[in-house]
Amino acid sequence: MSSVKDEMTRIIQEQPDDSSFDEILRELALARMIDRGLKDSEVGRTISDDDMKRQMNQWRRSKTTATVRIKRILEKSR
C-alpha cells in the first residue's frame, strides 16, 4: 500500500510538464473526491438516483429563488 505522499507524487508526476499549479491542484482534488466516493460506495453510504434528482431540483429552485431576490433588491436600489 502506498502512502498518501507517494500517491500525490504519482499524480503530480503524471501531469504534463507545462501544467499550471491550479491544474495540478484540480487533479489532486479530483483524485481525492474519487477516492472518497469509492470508499462511501464500499460501505453503503449512497443514495438512490431518485433521491439525488430531488436534491438537485431543490438546489436549482433555491438558486433560482435567490437570484430573483437579488434582482429585485438591485432593481429597488436604482
Tell me the pLDDT tens digit for each residue of 36-47.
999 999 999 999
23 has a pLDDT exceeding 70? yes
At which residue does the C-alpha cell 477516492 appear?
35
Three-state secondary structure string covering 13-40: HCCCCCCCHHHHHHHHHHHHHHHHHHHH
User: Residue 26 has what pLDDT?
Assistant: 96
29 vs 2, 11, 15, 46, CA distance in Å?
A: 18, 10, 14, 20
Q: Of 47, 12, 50, which is closest to residue 28 (Cα–Cα)?
A: 12
Structural contact between residues 53 and 33, judged by C-beta atoms closer than 8 angstroms: no
User: Residue 60 has what pLDDT?
Assistant: 87
Q: Of 27, 33, 5, which is closest to residue 15 (Cα–Cα)?
A: 27
User: Residue 59 has what pLDDT?
Assistant: 87
User: Residue 71 has what pLDDT?
Assistant: 85
